Amino acid sequence: MGSTASRADARKRLRFHWSLSQAGNQFRRASQTEQMSGIPPVSAQLELCRSADDYEIDSLLMAIGFARPDPTVLAAALGRKTQRVKFMVACRPGLISPTSFVQQINTLSLLLEGRVHVNIVGGHTPRELHYYGDWLPREERYARLDEFLTVCRAFWAEERGEVNFSGTYFQVEGGRLKTPFSIGGRHGPEIYLGGNSEESAALAIRHADCLWRFAEPPERLAPAIAPVVRSGTEVGLLVSLIGRSTRDKAIQAARDLVERLGDSAQQAQLNFERHTDASAFRSTFALARSCDTGWATATLWTGAVPFLGPPAIALVGAAHEIADTLLEYRAIGVTQFLFTGWPDDEEMAFFGERIAPLVRERERVEAHAWRIRP
Amino acid sequence: MTAPLRFHWRLIQGGDMTEKIAHDRVASEAAVPEIATQMAFCREAEQLGIDSVLVDIGVGKPDPMVLAMVLATATDRLKFMVAHRPGLMSPTLFVQQVNTFSTLAPGRITLNFVAGHSQAEQLNYGDNLPHDERYERLREYLTICRRLWAGETTVDFAGRHYRIEAGRVRTPFIAPDRQAPEVYLGGGSRSAREVASELTDCWLRFGDTVENVARESAPVLDNGSEVGLRIACITRSTRFEAVNVARALLEPCELRRRESEAAFVKGSDSESIRHVYELGESEWLGGSLWAGAVRALGATSIALVGTPNDVADGILGFRQAGVSQFILHGWPKWEEMRIFCREVLPLLKSSH
């Protein structure tokens, strides 16, 4: 199925997601996590949700962490006030029984007409996992994740039989839930899973619909994701956007951003880097250090990573340059993107009005070309 | 100890809101929230003066936290008593969910802890602790939650079931008048009673004779916690009519229901469910207190049956025994809330 799958993927319509967690905050991630208030800025978040409803945003990522509100509960409140956009709810397997997690997600999905994806994360900082009573060493977190998703997917299977599972970390006997994921629609959510390690790729191939990776230059990314793309699991990129009407203006905006942030932001990231054990975070910090100029490619900018962390690796440029870059990634098999911006609302509007139309036009032309090919 | 009387109602779930009869335990449990109806029910409960609605937990039901959050967005004042069982998630994550709810609906979440009533159901969730250890775990869980709510900067805890280091959540609990949510604990066993009086605001129990309730409540009240009763009511303009409604609950397939209830009780490791099943030997437990449906419909079907005056007298009898909160339901499920609030509540106010 290898080449057929990749040819099909090359024609797949790109899907775009946006991170919701810092809506309304101009300086997202610029402060120590410790200083975040944890109170959701609901009106700013609702505005971003409604913009996402209007533009071509498939879903909003609801991140998880001790300094943030709970993503499942927050999605329940925001989701009822939106029409179309989906909510990508993050989950850490060590904190909740898989049965309970499925029950919460299914309830949420029924109340939001199926507008729910899940994003499974292993946790990136042991210190933080201890706040929750999770002491599993990193090597075992993958094995537990594997069991967790095996149980969840059994509950989400088309044939809704009794779930029985006996593993090292989870034992479920006679498992049944009466609340389905949807009525007449999907049997379970689309499952996203993040990570740069081989273990993450293997887990994604086994369980997920899409593997999230941090952005890196296409030629570096291509070999790393090739096995995932071949398996039929999609690959998505986490990347920030700084798009402006011209390349010069975009570069200026990027420079201004770094200037505004100053030393305290950098200190926050050095502090974070010391405590993280996630390879995705570590490798993006390393990529940023290896780019003296701050540019990994003509459009991929690492200049904000030392200040704002790995999620701040950014595509910077004019609308057509960013659209071209997105399509270059598509050529190596990337089919989904998760964006953030500074601030999110303006960047989402620029994306929705200037970048997305270019991408869609190119997709139409190419789809036509595929159809007329003998 | 004169806590004001407060009345809560059980959220209607599924297709049973207008029907006069009760459903089988398993077949009836709603899997799909009928959200428009439930929202209308909650808005009416709010107008009628109900303090909170109880949102149950179980494998046959939608998740109560998520459902309550959505219902809270459709109401203004009503509180939601969200049922929760320890053993299903990290206490820190649970506090984070509760606090998040409170930032979106300040002061409108309370918690109904239950240890779990059946080993088989707990195994659904991957939880295989036996009955007595479930209370030990509940104690640890509540201790951690309370310390997180007490505003300790970081919480360290090392117990048999949980080990937390520097535990914290950034999202605070928000309420106009409280630092932590009001916590109820349900269960009839001595362990339940002890944990309730030590670590919660209110001990919840099933209906029983006034004498039994008075005797068992005394130590809880002495400790400064309230006592709440989960009980049904069937109020009609005449006692005759009310008794007929009550007896009619049993008519459809009574034998099959009795068998299914007996099987449920047999599989349960809850002391109070077994005790109430024993009470079901007699139809009447004194005054208007009716146990006629217990053997077919379970422990929550113990009911005050009669005229508004009969039901009000029944409430005041339990009040004398020390009960200050009632979690009610009745048949038809929605209509009975209306009748109770319009006919019985005014009598209780005037008798204060």
Residue B23 has, within 13 A of its CA and on its CB side, a CA count of 15
pLDDT band at residue A9 using 50, 70 and 90 as cut-offs: very low
Amino acid at residue number B248: A
B73 closest CB neighbour out of A66, A80, A180: A80
- A286/B175 Cα distance (integer angstroms): 45
Task: Give the mean model confidence (pLDDT) for residues B150-155.
Answer: 91
CB atoms within 10 A of CB B16: 18
B73 and A68 in contact by Cβ < 8 A?
no
Q: Does A345 touch chain B (CB under 8 A)?
A: no
DSSP string across B163-218: EEEEE--SSPP--SS-SS--EEEE--SHHHHHHHHHH-SEEEEE---HHHHHHHHH
CA distance to partner chain B, nearest, from residue A347 (Å): 27
B90 and A96 in contact by Cβ < 8 A?
yes
Q: Does A37 touch chain B (CB under 8 A)?
A: yes
CB atoms within 10 A of CB B279: 19
Q: CA-CA distances (angstroms) from residue B212 to A26, A337, B4, B203, B299?
A: 62, 63, 22, 15, 15
pLDDT per residue as tens digits for the range A166-187: 999 999 999 999 999 998 889 9
- B304/A67 Cα distance (integer angstroms): 48
Cite the DSSP H helix spans in chain A: 2-10, 42-54, 71-79, 98-111, 126-131, 138-155, 198-207, 218-231, 247-275, 279-290, 305-308, 319-331, 344-350, 356-372
Task: Give the mean model confidence (pLDDT) for residues A192-203.
Answer: 91
- The answer, yes or no, to whether residue A148 has pLDDT greater than 60, is yes
- The answer, yes or no, to whether residue A373 has pLDDT greater than 60, is yes
Burial class (CB in 10 A: 0-12, 13-18, 19+), A302: buried
- The answer, yes or no, to whether residue A277 has pLDDT greater than 90, is no
Q: What is the pLDDT of residue A8?
A: 45
Give the nearest chain B residue to A79 (CA atoms): B70
B100 and A73 in contact by Cβ < 8 A?
yes
pLDDT per residue as tens digits for the range B320-341: 999 999 999 998 989 999 999 9
Does residue B1 lie within any of the structural domains? no
B59 and A99 in contact by Cβ < 8 A?
yes
**Residue of A276, A95, A107, A125 lying closest to B59 (CA atoms):** A107
Structure tokens at B208: 């029983």
When the candidates are 3.20.20.30, 3.40.50.300, 3.50.50.60, 3.40.50.1100, the CATH number that belongs to A2-372 is 3.20.20.30
Q: Does B324 touch chain A (CB under 8 A)?
A: no
CA distance to partner chain B, nearest, from residue A233 (Å): 29
Residue A63 DSSP class = -
Structure tokens at B283: 């139809």
Question: Which are the contacts of A191, defined by CB distance < 8 A and separation ≥ 6?
Answer: A117, A118, A120, A149, A152, A153, A207, A208, A209, A210
Give the nearest chain B residue to A136 (CA atoms): B163
Q: Does A108 touch chain B (CB under 8 A)?
A: yes
pLDDT per residue as tens digits for the range A340-366: 998 899 999 999 999 999 999 999 998
Question: Domain of B135?
Answer: 6-350
A72 closest CB neighbour out of B35, B66, B99: B66
Q: What is the pLDDT of residue B28?
A: 44
* CATH classification at residue B173: 3.20.20.30
- A316/B170 Cα distance (integer angstroms): 33
B125 and A67 in contact by Cβ < 8 A?
no
**Residue of B92, B59, B75, B293 lying closest to A103 (CA atoms):** B59
**Residue of A342, A172, A160 lying closest to A260 (CA atoms):** A342
pLDDT band at residue A139 using 50, 70 and 90 as cut-offs: confident
Residue B284 DSSP class = B
Structure tokens at A266: 């950098």
Q: Tokens 């340059």 map to which residue?
A: A321
pLDDT per residue as tens digits for the range B176-222: 999 999 999 998 888 899 999 999 999 999 999 999 999 999 999 99
pLDDT per residue as tens digits for the range B207-218: 999 999 999 999
Q: What is the pLDDT of residue A222?
A: 97
- The answer, yes or no, to whether residue B13 has pLDDT greater than 50, is yes
Task: Give the mean model confidence (pLDDT) for residues B25-52.
Answer: 82
Give the nearest chain A residue to B105 (CA atoms): A77
B92 closest CB neighbour out of A133, A135, A171: A133
A178 and B167 in contact by Cβ < 8 A?
no
Q: What is the pLDDT of residue A2?
A: 39
Least confident stretch, A51-55, A106-110, B32-36, B118-122: B118-122
B70 closest CB neighbour out of A42, A111, A176: A111
Least confident stretch, A17-21, A100-104, A198-202, A291-295: A291-295
**Separation of CA A55 from chain center:** 18
Whether the CB-CB separation of B98 and B111 falls below 8 Å is answered with yes
- The answer, yes or no, to whether residue A265 has pLDDT greater than 70, is no
**Residue of A251, A260, A218, A249 lying closest to A235 (CA atoms):** A218
Residue A116 DSSP class = E
Structure tokens at B278: 């024993």
Whether the CB-CB separation of B184 and B110 falls below 8 Å is answered with yes
Question: Taking the domains of chain A in order of start, what are their residue ranges?
Answer: 2-372
Q: What are phi and psi of A99, to 5 degrees?
A: -60, -45
Mean of pLDDT over chain B: 89
- The answer, yes or no, to whether residue B27 has pLDDT greater than 50, is no
A-B contacts (CB, under 8 Å): 172
Task: Give the mean model confidence (pLDDT) for residues B39-51.
Answer: 96
Q: What is the pLDDT of residue B330?
A: 94
- The answer, yes or no, to whether residue A3 has pLDDT greater than 50, is no
Does residue B153 lie within any of the structural domains? yes
Does the predicted TM-score (pTM) go above 0.95? no
A77 and B73 in contact by Cβ < 8 A?
yes
Q: What is the pLDDT of residue B296?
A: 84
Number of domains in chain B: 1
Whether the CB-CB separation of B54 and B10 falls below 8 Å is answered with yes
B89 closest CB neighbour out of A74, A97, A108: A97
Q: Which of residues A183 and A4 earns the better pLDDT score? A: A183
- B6/A356 Cα distance (integer angstroms): 56
Does residue B160 lie within any of the structural domains? yes
End-to-end CA distance of chain A: 20
Mean of pLDDT over chain A: 88
Q: In A, which residues are within 8 Å of B97 by CB distance? A: 70, 72-73
Q: What is the pLDDT of residue B25?
A: 42
Task: Give the mean model confidence (pLDDT) for residues A315-320.
Answer: 98
Q: B33 in helix, strand or coil?
A: coil
Whether the CB-CB separation of B38 and B11 falls below 8 Å is answered with yes
Q: What are phi and psi of B163, to 5 degrees?
A: -135, 115
Does residue B173 lie within any of the structural domains? yes
pLDDT per residue as tens digits for the range A12-24: 799 999 999 777 6
Q: What is the pLDDT of residue B260?
A: 78
pLDDT band at residue A25 using 50, 70 and 90 as cut-offs: low
CB < 8 Å from A in window 102-131 of B: 103-105, 120, 123-128
ipTM above 0.95, yes or no: no
Q: What percentage of chain A exceeds 70 in pLDDT?
A: 88
Q: A16 in helix, strand or coil?
A: strand
A132 closest CB neighbour out of B33, B61, B92: B92
B66 closest CB neighbour out of A107, A175, A177: A107
pLDDT band at residue B101 using 50, 70 and 90 as cut-offs: very high
Q: CA-CA distances (angstroms) from residue B203 to A134, B122, B206, B229?
A: 31, 22, 10, 8
Q: CA-CA distances (angstroms) from residue A304 to A27, A251, A323, A337?
A: 11, 12, 21, 19
CA distance to partner chain B, nearest, from residue A181 (Å): 10
Least confident stretch, A59-73, A218-232, B25-39, B239-253: B25-39
B171 and A170 in contact by Cβ < 8 A?
no
Q: Tokens 């203006």 map to which residue?
A: A249
Q: In A, which residues are within 8 Å of B37 by CB distance? A: none
Which range, A24-28, B117-121, B250-254, B271-275, has the best average confidence (pLDDT)?
A: B271-275
- The answer, yes or no, to whether residue A5 has pLDDT greater than 90, is no
Does residue B292 lie within any of the structural domains? yes
Burial class (CB in 10 A: 0-12, 13-18, 19+), A223: exposed
Does residue B103 lie within any of the structural domains? yes
- B345/B340 Cα distance (integer angstroms): 6
Task: Give the mean model confidence (pLDDT) for residues A221-229.
Answer: 96
Whether the CB-CB separation of B152 and B95 falls below 8 Å is answered with no
DSSP string across A144-168: HHHHHHHHHHHHTSSS---EEEE-S
Task: Give the mean model confidence (pLDDT) for residues A329-338.
Answer: 97
Choose the mutation target among B80, B162, B170 for the interface with A, i.e. most A CBs under 10 Å.
B170
Handedness of CA A20, A23, A26, A29 (dihedral sign): negative
Q: What is the pLDDT of residue B346?
A: 96
Strand-pairing partners, residue A244, are A318
